[in-house]
Each structure stands twice: as C-alpha cells, then as structure tokens.
Chains A and B, each alone.
Chain A
Amino acid sequence: MEELFGSLAQGAAILFNPDTFLLTVLYMIGGLLLGMFVGALPGLTTLTAMAILLPIVFFLPPIFGIPFLLGIYKGGIYGGSIPAILVSMPGTGAAVATTFDGPALTRQGKGRKALEMALFSSVAGDFTSDLVTILAIVPIALIALAIGPPELAAVLFLSLIVISATGSGAFVKGVLVMAIGLFVAMIGQDPIGALARFDFGFFELRSGIGLLPMLIGLFALSELLLSIEKRAATYIKAGAKALEGERLKWAEFKASGRTIARSTVIGTSIGMIPGVGQVVAAFVGYAAAKNASKHPERYGKGELDGIAAAEAANNAVNGPTLVPMLTFGIPGDNITAILLGAFVAVGMRPGPQLMVEQGPQVFAILLAMLLANVLFIIVGYLTIPAFARVVRIPKAILMPLTIMFAFAGVFAVRNNPTDLYILAGFGVIGYVLRKFKFDVAPLAMAFILGPEIERAVGQTLSLSRGDLFGYIVFERPITLVILLLTPVIAWYLWRRSSKLQRAARLLAPEE
C-alpha cells in the first residue's frame, strides 16, 4: 500500500513537472477539442481519429503525446452526446439513452441547458470513477479477471430484462421490439463459428447490419420523418428564447446530485465488465433514476435528470475500463487497444510487470485522466454556446443538413454502400414503430447486446463440455447468484412498472 502511494507521488511529480506542465495542458486541450469535434460528427469516430493520430506519439515526448490521445478519447465520448441531444442522432450505443430526453429539451428551447447538464454530469461521473480506479486498481483488476463468459452472459441477460421492464411503452410491446432487435443482430455471421446466416443470398448482408446505420436510421431519420409529417411544427421551438438558450442553473444541477451519484456507482461497477460497459451503464443508470424518481412520468419527455442519469453512468465506465489493459495488457475495446499501442510505442508494455517496473508512469497517466476532466469542464463550457447555436439554424436548412450528415457519416465508417440502404430502411422501420407507439430503444439494445450474449452463452457451453448445470452450480458461483437474482429483480421491476402505469392512467384518463 505504501509502495502504491510512493508510485502515486512520483507519478504526480512526472505530470506536474513545471517545465512541461503548460505544454501538456495545451496538448490535452487540443486533444479535447479535436475529440469533441470528431465525436459530434457521426462517421468521424473517436476511434478513427485516434488510429490516424496515433503516429503522433512516435514523434512527441510521452508526456505530451499520451495526454493528447487521452484528450481525444475523453472529448470524443462527450462529443457523441451533442448530436444526440440536438438532433436525436446517437453516434454510439452509449448515447442512445441520452436521446430519450435530449431532443425533447432542445425542442423546448432548453438545448443549452441539456448540453451543460450532459457536460457536468459526464465530468462528475468520469472524475469520480477515475479517482476510484486510482485508489482501487488492484481489487478492480481482480474482479475484471473473475468475469468470464458465464458471468458476462448472466449479467447481460439481466440487463436486457431491466431494459425491457423499464421502457416507456407497454411491457409486451417492449419485448416484441426487443425480439426484432435480436433477430436483426443475427444477420451476418454467428459469433462463435463465424458461419454466414440469414443473409438471404445477398453477399452484402454477410457482414451483418452495421450499428451506426441502424442507430441513426432508427433514432434520427425516424424523428425527421415524424417532424416532416407534423410540418415541423414542433421540431425545434427556439426563436423567442435568448440566442443560445438558457444556461443550466446551479439548483438544477444540485437537484440531480443523487442521480449523478447513483449513476456513477452503477457505471463504475459495470465498467469492470469488459466490452459493452458504456451502453449497459447508460441504460441501467437511466432506468434506476426513473425508478427512484417521484415523477417517473416526466422521463422521456424532456427531463434534465434523465440526461444526468445516462451521461454520468456511461462516463463512469471509463476509469475501470482501462484497468485490464494496464494490469494485464488486455484491451477491453478498440479504443483501449489504440491506447495500448501508444503505451508500447513510448516504451511501456502494459501487463503485470508494468505496475512493478513503471508504477509512477502508470499513475502519471491516471492522474492525466483526472486532469483531462478538469480541463474539459472549461473547454466544454466555453464551446457549448457554439454547438447550442445549432438551434438557430432555420428548420428548412437544419433538416436537410441533418439528413446529409446522417448519410455521409454512415458511409464514412465502413465505406459500404449497402449501409445507406440499411440506414434508410431503419428510418422507415423506426417511423412505423413510433407511429404505433412502440418504444424503439429496446430494439437498439437487443441489437447491441444480443451478439454479446450469444457469444458468451456459446463460450459457456463450450467451457461446460456438455454439463452446463453442473458447471454453473459447482464451478461458477457468481453466475449462479446472478441467475438466481434475475427473476426476483424482474418481478420487482414488473410490479413497479405496472403500478406506475396504473397510476398514470388514473392521473390522465383522457389519454
């Protein structure tokens, strides 16, 4: 323990070296701005930006290069919530929960408030989780190692239940939409044997349905279609308000304090699960906030607290996600894989040896992440007015622009023309579903989590060698506990949601 604090102090000495500190800060701010920009434009993903800019660490001293990349990483995650709030266009699965309340707030002329709430709750969640990671890196590493395929399958299955039970529509409709999502996710190749399936003879479908065309079609295009139908009467109602809209008030932020704290705990815990942490965290955080609120009926109609719940949760994942990479040299996703490449390039080889041999450097990086959060409050606060000004663009121009960005962005990711048909197709599917009062979020969630569950279940079956029951009962106690808890939690959620619906019906009999 003492050794740990010694490394921490040395790490701080590296980062806060007065000779280099100012330049480090400037590189980091550059990275944050760039990350925000690429994150906000669909198609220009954070991942691509980091891959292209990775060679920069070959030429810069590590104390500048690594903070620059970390800046892109952190800026990019927030950048993704900007189009989600303004034009209902989630660039990643993690931003889907933000579209529940963000666009509604924008329509009410509260776009700037929403962006600021997203910024402050993101930073709060991220900062806390980074701090927890620094203090508890060893136990987090042990937990991350203990989560194998059976545990992952059980946790993801439970998440699907939570998501379907806390959706905005009727339970049966949620399950139906979820089934569609699960099927759509099966198109392409199966995650275990890599065999082609459900491609209906089209080679173009063999690579499966892309996440981005599906998300943008389902959320952004369908939203546009609905607005066009209403002659854009309610698309964005900003005009009369102040130019950039109202700022977030301290009282409003404070009112969401509990939500942010809850979501941070949820996000940090889920962050220890490799892979799909951000998506699951955002949804579970949102569901928990809605569940705990005195006014659950306001969620999904422009509730600031909903933004705080989703954003704090998906950012709180960031700290623990890095732990397996730093302690075992195992990257959890492609972004951490690039960071791994950057560390190797500057002479650090992540793995168990890293903490022993280069502990101070590891802590310098972790402290740099804390610093990135502090800087990001300033950078974000100063740039939000520029983004919020989007609402001033006349509808007749904004809507075609959004469509253009949707198609261009989707094409840029995989350079695949088929993705454009898929985008358009999901735009129509989303429109039809929403017309019939279906919540489309379960479709997206099932699409993202389905293949993960399928892979984990397949791996579990392989590991169990035919004796699944014995394997889980005798060798996987954590899985067993989660599986036993699942029906209990499901029953509780179902009872609560039906009670709420009954109450809502009593309150608003005219609907």
Chain B
Amino acid sequence: MRRTFLKSVALGALMLGVGISSAMAQDNYPAKPITMILPLGAGGSHDLNARVLTSILPQYLGQAVIVKLVPGASGQTGTAAAANAPADGYTLLFTHNFFDQLQQHVKELPYKPTEDFVTVARTNSARMCAIVRADSQFKSLQALFDFGKSNPGKIELSHSGQWGATMVPAAQLFNWAKVQVNMTPYRGGGPSLRALLAGDADVTFQFPSTILGQGDKVRTLACVLDEPTLGSPPTFASLGFPGEIGEMHRIVMAPRGVPADRLAKLREAFVALQEDTTYKSLIKRLGEDSNLMSGDEYEKLRAQQSKDYKALVDSMTSG
C-alpha cells in the first residue's frame, strides 16, 4: 500500500518533470539550475570536490549547479534517485567507479548502472599505494607476497569498507598474487590507517597525499602511477599486474537518454573547466589533481571495469 503510494508520488513528480522539460525542449539548455546528486555524505572527498566543481561550472554552463547529498545504503539511495530522475540534463550524478560498476556484481540493485547512466566526464581520479609501517619486515611487495604464500592468512590487511576504494585494489592484487590475506574492514581510510600505525594491521592502501603527511612513519611498497613525491616506488604494472588497479575515478553521470546536444554541452563544460586557472588552483589546494577523461573515453573503460570486477567478485565469493 505504502509502496504504491510512493510510486504514484514518484510517477506524479516524473510526469511533472517531463511536462516541464518538454515545454523547454527547444530552449537554450540549461535554462534552470542543474542538480548534482551525490550518493555520499557531507565532508567526504567527493563532497569537497563537488564544492569546487559547482563553484566554477556556472561560468561555463550559465546556470547554477546545486549539490544534493543523498547518502545511504552504500550509495544505492542516491543512485536510485538519479536513475529515476528525468533524462533532461537537469539531474546529474557524481559518483565513483566502485558504486558504478562493481556494486552490481555483489548486490541486487533497483537500477542498472550501465543502462541507466552515461558518462559526462571523469573529473579526476585518486590513486592508491600499498603501504606498511616503516619498521615493518617487508621491504618490498614481493617480500610481502613471499611471506604470505608460506603463511596463508597471516598477513593482516586493513581497508576502508567492503567493496570500497581500498578493499578492491587489495583484493585484486592479492588475488592475482595468489596470496591469502586476512582482511578487516574499517570505517573509512582514516581508521584503516590507524590500524596500520597501531600495529593491528600489516599492510593497507592509502592515497599519496595522505602518505605524504605520515613522513617517515610508513614505507610505500607500490603505487598505481609513478609518484616522485614518495620517492618513485615501483608501480603495480612494473611488478607485473595486468590491467587497471587501485584507481578511484570520480565520475559525473547523466541519466541515459539525455538529448545528445545537451550531453555534448555538459561534456564541453567539463573540458573547458580543465583550462580554468581558478579551478586548477582550488582543486590542487584540496590535494587532488585535475586529470580529466572525456565521457567517450571513460565509457570504454567502464565496459572493461565491469568485466574485471565480475571476475574478481566471482573468484572471491566462489572459494
């Protein structure tokens, strides 16, 4: 009963939205403020990135972009809200690759990420490094693998939450190396770092900006890309890992079905943003970079991600 009521309310809102948008179909998009839904809570890195994006984007779109935080159920609540919004370019979703492509393989979702959303832009990405304490016996990733192989389950790994940004690369890496580790989830990257520093964990994954603040307390074993500020530790690829690993892509999506000219306009705005000096300096001050990937390009990566994540999930849940 309640469900049908909710549905009818949603339907009414949808029809109202369709009515408004069809009335404006011929106008100069965007003619009203654009809402950007974040399926995440206040104060996180997505929130802070979004605050910077939405303070500069209006210059290129001619309309305000409003951040709407809809956290809950590991991002499902906000993503569902965006999936149900009209595909008129006035509702966007600011999410990341693990919500977008991994979650569908571990949970039953009320939406289909690939069919329901199209990429506007990957605004930037955050790349992980594997770290141990400075006094750890493990001087290299290979040493960690060797120990792990002869002592299955002995290596304790702390991560930021089930199927999240640090758990997935860790699982990919140790799965590939055929090393069995004991994984303990913490509530976010901070507590998982505390576990490492306190000696509760042997290894964890962190972003370079966080590692930099730890000074000589931790040792970086490997990173996604070359990180000169950390003394250029080996990359996962140079150690032989095939494929994509350890990158959290921050992506702006639109409900699929958004008119092509509107999608093009949105994509252009994000490209133009890359040249904006204020944007570049603000994003740098957050400790993030501004390595844009175009919507088209990211769509290709997305298809590959889905396959990789499915393989990972299958291998982890079957055994």
Q: Which stretch (A30-38, A94-102, A185-193, A442-450) binds chain B?
A: A185-193
- The proximity string for B residues 106-141 relative to A, scoring 1 for CB distances below 8 Å and 0 otherwise, is 010010000000000000000000000000000000
- Contact A335–B285 (Cβ < 8 Å): no
Residues of B within 8 A of A417 (CB): 6, 9
Q: A48-B42, A351-B214 are contacts. A328–B197 as well, Cβ < 8 Å?
A: yes
Let me know if B48 and A341 touch, CB within 8 A. Answer: yes
Nearest B residue (CB) for A324: B194
Size bin of chain A's contact surface = 35 or more
How far is it, in angstroms, between the C-alpha of A444 and the C-alpha of B236 when the chains are bound? Answer: 47
Please tell me which one of the listed residues B162, B194, B213, B286 contacts residue A341 in the complex, with CB atoms under 8 A apart: B286
B74 partner, pick from A145, A189, A465, beta carbons under 8 A? A189
Residues of A within 8 A of B282 (CB): 55, 58
Q: Is the CB of A208 within 8 A of B72?
A: yes
Identify which of A51, A148, A275, A463 contacts B48 (C-beta below 8 A).
A51
Candidates B44, B184, B197; contact of A334 at CB < 8 Å: B44
B185 within 8 A of A: yes
- Measured CB to CB, the nearest residue on chain A to B210 is A329
Q: Does B198 contact A (CB under 8 A)?
A: yes
Q: Are A344 and B287 in contact (CB under 8 A)?
A: yes
DSSP class of A's interface residues: helix, strand, loop or mixed? helix
Cβ of B187: which chain A residues have Cβ within 8 Å of it? 191, 275, 455
Which residue from chain A places its CB closest to the CB of B206 in the assembled complex? A329
Bound form: Cα–Cα A352–B196 in Å:
14
Contact B285 A345 (CB under 8 A): yes
The segment from A199-207, A258-266, A382-390 found at the interface with B is A199-207
Q: A414 at the A/B interface (Cβ < 8 Å)?
A: yes
* One of B17-25, B63-71, B251-259 at the interface: B63-71
Chain A-chain B contacts (Cβ-Cβ < 8 Å), number:
153
Decide yes or no: A354 and B213 within 8 Å by CB, A55-B51, A206-B73, A330-B191 being known contacts.
yes
Task: Tell me how far the C-beta of A184 lies from the nearest C-beta in chain B, rounded to whole angstroms.
Answer: 15
Confirm or deny: B183 has a beta carbon within 8 angstroms of a beta carbon on chain A: yes
A193:B209 contact, CB within 8 angstroms: no
Query: A330 touching B153 by the CB < 8 A rule?
Result: no
Q: Identify the closest chain B residue to A191 (Cβ).
A: B187
- Binary contact readout A427-466 vs B (1 if CB under 8 angstroms, 0 otherwise): 0000000000000000000000000000100110011010
Q: Which of A51, A54, A459 is within 8 Å of B186, CB to CB?
A: A459
The residue on B at minimum CB distance from A333 is B43
User: From residue B14, how far is it (CB to closest CB) to chain A in Å?
Assistant: 14
B182 A465 Cβ-Cβ under 8 A: yes
Q: Is B52 an interface residue (CB 8 A)?
A: yes
Task: Check if B296 is an interface residue, CB within 8 A of chain A.
Answer: no
Contacts of A293 in B (CB 8 A): none
Cα A337 to Cα B183 in complex, Å, equals 25
| Residues of B15-65 whose CB lies within 8 A of A | 41-44, 47-48, 51-52, 55
Q: Are A344 and B286 interface neighbours, CB within 8 A?
A: yes
Taking CB atoms, residues of chain B closer than 8 Å to A54 are 48, 51
The answer to whether the Cβ of B161 comes within 8 Å of any Cβ in the partner chain is yes
Cβ of A158 < 8 Å from any Cβ of B?
Answer: no
Q: Which residues of B contact A356 (CB under 8 A)?
A: 215
The answer to whether B72 and A414 have CB atoms under 8 Å apart is: yes
Known: A54-B48, A54-B51, A328-B193. A196 touches B72 (CB 8 A): no
Q: Are A194 and B161 in contact (CB under 8 A)?
A: yes
- The yes or no answer to B3 lying at the interface (CB within 8 A) is yes
Question: What's the Cα separation between A349 and B209 when bound, in Å?
Answer: 8
B186-238 residues with Cβ-Cβ distance < 8 A to A are 186-187, 190-191, 193-195, 197-198, 200, 209-210, 212-215, 217
Which A residues touch B2, using CB under 8 A? 202, 421
Once A337-B44, A341-B48, A349-B209 are accepted as A-B contacts, the answer to whether A414 and B185 lie under 8 Å apart by CB is no
User: B183, B195, B215 — which one has the most chain A CB atoms within 10 A of its CB?
Assistant: B215
Q: How far is the CA of A334 from the CA of B9 in the complex (A)?
A: 33
| Interface residue? A138 (CB, 8 A) | no
A51 touches B73 (CB 8 A): no
Given contacts A274-B194, A414-B71, A417-B6, 10 further A-B contacts (CB under 8 A): A51-B43, A145-B197, A148-B195, A188-B73, A324-B190, A341-B48, A344-B286, A344-B287, A345-B286, A417-B9
Question: Can you list 20 A-B pairs, Cβ within 8 angstroms, ordered by A?
Answer: A55-B51, A145-B194, A145-B197, A148-B194, A202-B3, A206-B77, A207-B73, A324-B190, A341-B48, A344-B209, A345-B286, A352-B213, A352-B217, A353-B215, A414-B72, A414-B77, A415-B68, A417-B6, A455-B187, A459-B185
Interface residues of B (CB under 8 A from A): 2-3, 6, 9, 41-44, 47-48, 51-52, 55, 68-74, 76-77, 80-81, 107, 110, 153, 156, 161-163, 182-187, 190-191, 193-195, 197-198, 200, 209-210, 212-215, 217, 282, 285-287
